Amino acid sequence: MQKKILAVLGIVTLLSLLYLPLMLAYDFDDDISADDKATFDEMLEPVMKIYNLVKYSATIIAAIILLFAGISYMISGGDPKKREQAKSMAMYVIIGLIIIWVTPLIVNFIIG
């Protein structure tokens, strides 16, 4: 197992050393031309469509799971294990939704 990890790390290191001259040769202070921006926006459009599909699908699934967790909490009666399980399920779903919906805002804040 360790040999595989070392082999992968070696390949990644070798590839990064091969691309290092290309990265150093590029001037990152250059302004982006309108054609380059249009090309980038054109390439980004299908990615954003897929992201939005995943985001909205996950939101629908999360709403169903939250409904299930709420029903589980209500019918748990006096069993503290079932109540804790329903609470943790709801908490993980809410955390996942926050991550899915806030990530683009964080990326836009960092980039722009």
Any domain includes 15: no
Any domain includes 84: yes
Question: CA distances (Å), 103 to each of 8, 50, 59, in order?
Answer: 29, 15, 14
Burial class (CB in 10 A: 0-12, 13-18, 19+), 28: exposed
Average pLDDT for residues 24-31, to the nearest whole number?
A: 66
Burial class (CB in 10 A: 0-12, 13-18, 19+), 72: middle
Any domain includes 95: yes
Task: Give the pLDDT score at 13.
Answer: 82
Any domain includes 17: no
Any domain includes 45: yes
How would residue 12 be classed by pLDDT, with cut points 50, 70 and 90? confident
Token pair for residue 93? 């779903």
Global pTM value: 0.63
Q: Which domain holds residue 73?
A: 33-111
**Number of domains forming the structure of the chain:** 1
Task: Give the pLDDT score at 62.
Answer: 95
Any domain includes 6: no
Any domain includes 81: yes
On the question of pLDDT at 7 being above 90, the answer is no
How would residue 44 be classed by pLDDT, with cut points 50, 70 and 90? confident
